[in-house]
Amino acid sequence: MASLLKLSTAVRRQTLLAGSRAGSTYAAAFRTALSNEPATEVTTLDSGLRVASESVPSQVATVGLFIDAGARYEDKNSNGTANFFEHLAFKGTTKRSQSALEQEVESMGAQLNASTGRDQTSFTARCLSKDVPKLIEILADVVQNPRLDDADVKRAREVILGEIEQVDASNLREVVCDHLHATAFQGTSLGNTVWGPSSNIRSIKADDVRGYVNSHYKAPRMVLAAAGDVRQSELEKLAEKYLGKVESTFDGKPPQLSAVRFTGSEMRVRDDSLPLAHVAVAVEGCGVSSSDAVALSVASALIGTWDRTFGGGVNNASKLAVASAHDKLCHNFESFNMTYRDTGLWGIYFECDPLQCEDMLFNVQNEWMRLCTMVTDGEVERAKRQLKTQLLAQLEGPQAICEDIGRQVLHLGRREPLHDVERRIENVTASNVRDVAMRYIFDRCPAVAAVGPVENLPDYMRIRSSMYWTRL
């Protein structure tokens, strides 16, 4: 028996060594593949406009203009103006009527899209690579020469008010997210919603939108990004040709981000007519350029995402997913790590039956405390693999790459190579995760937002008292 045990131990040791060598070989090959990915080229023109591109072997390309303009740059009276311009942007220019613009884009088989966020606005076009020059000219025309007549403003106002009603009625996740920002960053511009209050939408005029565009759409605040079968030198020439007249100076002081202040607090909207409680709980995270950002992303991946329609059930790697499946704690949950230029929100969103609010939140906070004190190397390794998979899956195709280029260059002035991102993730250890969790989560005041039948959700002081363990 002793001999068999020795043999078994030896076999296991050889297997582990072989697995370790295979894993090391795979990791090296993976890093080599990432390092061979095309580099992102970035050039700053004399006007301050930045041009960035990545050559991707594809017949389809995506080109976009990304601007430092969004809800964070608005005050309580102008909140909603950036989103208002998004709805007016493709309604025609001083050079093109709306019908001419639409016919021109349709004839190329291209797709135009606009998006407004809290810290940036983007106008993108998906097209055949050979049509990139024409689409850049169209995007430049849309941004520099918007028509903004009163009839279009009136129609856009009706559309926006209808969309706000639709979101309030059917997209409760976004509603809760807006409430979370409003309470977490109350009294600061980051608490603004992208939509703006209905009272503002009803009062915004064409001159207000025109003034906002003239104040924010300046060359130093803009990035022209492209991904596909494109060449950086050609993009620079196109930028000079079509965007060379964008002003680089400001009338007065350039728009600045106001100071951010996180407040531990809560906002509850009780509505017993809804079937489920929608709850978000978060602590203040870090900015996108912080050295803690990757470790917090790994910590978020450790909590994970789960839906009762997923397979796996009690065999999930996430302990919170196992508890949710076994005890039917919730219908779904999603851990998140939202990063902005100077701050962030790290937390979780979940939907559950009214009587499960307390039990679900207990398990969530129990997992958070475990992150701070007892997370293991094996769990961190699994979370790092999941984070890498998620990252690479999000960068499939020219459109996702273009949006990533625009966002990173706008915030950081460069785009971090994938092999550097992979190395930063790989360097995260269980000790790193415990350290950042202790700094950002342990004994911190959370922000809470809840909508629906939330009577059973513990009061704020009970939630706050569960943000630490006295067993340490």
Q: Is 395 helix (H, G, I), strand (E, B) or coil?
A: coil
Residue 118 · residue 194 · CB < 8 Å: yes
* Cα angle, residue 428 at apex, residues 424 and 433 outer, rounded to 5°: 135
Structure tokens belonging to residue 227: 């991904």
From edge to edge, which strands make up the β-sheet containing 344-352? 266-270, 447-452, 277-285, 344-352, 332-339, 305-307
Nearest to 219 by CA among 240, 233, 237, 235: 240
Beta strand 277-285 with 121-128 is unpaired
Alpha-helical regions (H) of 204-318: 206-216, 232-243, 293-303
86 is catalytic: yes
d(CA 383, CA 320): 14
Q: What count of other Cβ atoms lies within 10 Å of the Cβ of residue 131?
A: 19
**Burial letters 42-81, b for 16+ CB under 10 A, else e:** beebebebbbbbbbbebebbbbbbbbbbbbbbbeeebbbb
Question: Catalytic one among 54, 74, 86, 351?
Answer: 86
Q: Is 349 helix (H, G, I), strand (E, B) or coil?
A: strand
Nearest to 278 by CA among 182, 353, 194: 353
- Helical (H) or strand (E) element with 424: helix 418-426
Amino acid at position 262, single letter: F
Catalytic positions are 86
